[in-house]
Amino acid sequence: MSSQEELSLIRDCQNGNLASFSKLYDFYLDKIYRFVYYRVSHKETAEDLSSQTFLKALKAIGSADFSEKNFSAWIYKIAYNLIIDHYRSDKKEMELDKVLDLSAKENLLEEVDKNKKIELIKKAMTCLSPKQRDVVIMRVWDELSYKEISGISGDSEENCKVIFSRAVSKLKENLPIEYFVLLFALNILKN
């Protein structure tokens, strides 16, 4: 979707034509879901937080100002804040139904494999500061531009580039070979 198309849809929404929001929803749903899923590693939680992201966006789009920020950074920021809220209010106990609901999993082995890879990546990136990890994840996993990362993190685009570059250098220096191979295969170490 071009930035002109996106801006046109936003204006339609702000003028009361909320049906235009469905096109924004369709375009961003998978991206926001992946963004959330990587951070929570739980399918149902990621689905809930993704839904909440779009509900908040729909409620707030009429009053949002997109003259200095783009929709992408705005909606990712909503998702990011919901993830933070989720962890702040995270219950230490899970309901037994959620733990034992294996029949609801369409492909349990695929889900387990995905979670294993996510855990390996998280472990490999422990040598990075939290800010570096966030920038690397947003740039590589979420495939966000530096402009979008800047809008989410509050740092300048140039600073985001520097943070990413230093993080990649640190990963190259500190990783055991098995993590290096995995991260290289996932394009994290390719600038």
119, two tokens: 């855990």
73, two tokens: 């950074």
Give the Cα-Cα-Cα angle 43, 23, 73 (nearest 5 degrees).
70
- Tokens 């926001």 correspond to 32
Dmax over CA atoms of the chain, in Å, equals 55
pLDDT (tens place) for every residue of the chain, 191 residues total: 777 888 888 888 888 888 888 898 999 999 999 888 888 878 888 999 999 999 999 888 888 887 767 888 889 889 988 988 888 886 544 444 444 444 444 555 666 666 666 666 677 778 888 888 888 888 877 788 898 888 888 889 999 999 998 988 887 776 666 665 666 555 554 44
138, two tokens: 């947003």
Sequence spans of domains, the chain: 1-104, 106-191
- Answer for the pair 49, 88: CB distance below 8 angstroms, yes or no: no
The whole-number pLDDT of residue 47 equals 92
- Give alpha helix (H) positions in the chain: 3-14, 21-40, 43-60, 71-88, 96-100, 108-124, 130-136, 146-153, 157-174, 177-185
Q: Indicate the pTM of the whole model.
A: 0.64
The residues, any chain, with a CB within 8 Å of residue 72's CB and separated by 6 or more, are 6, 28, 144, 148, 151
Sign of the alpha-carbon dihedral angle for 16, 19, 23, 26: positive
Q: Classify domain 106-191 at the CATH class level.
A: mainly alpha
Architecture of domain 1-104: Orthogonal Bundle (1.10)
163, two tokens: 């943070």
75, two tokens: 């909606």
- Answer for the pair 131, 163: CB distance below 8 angstroms, yes or no: yes
Distance CA 136, CA 167 (A): 7
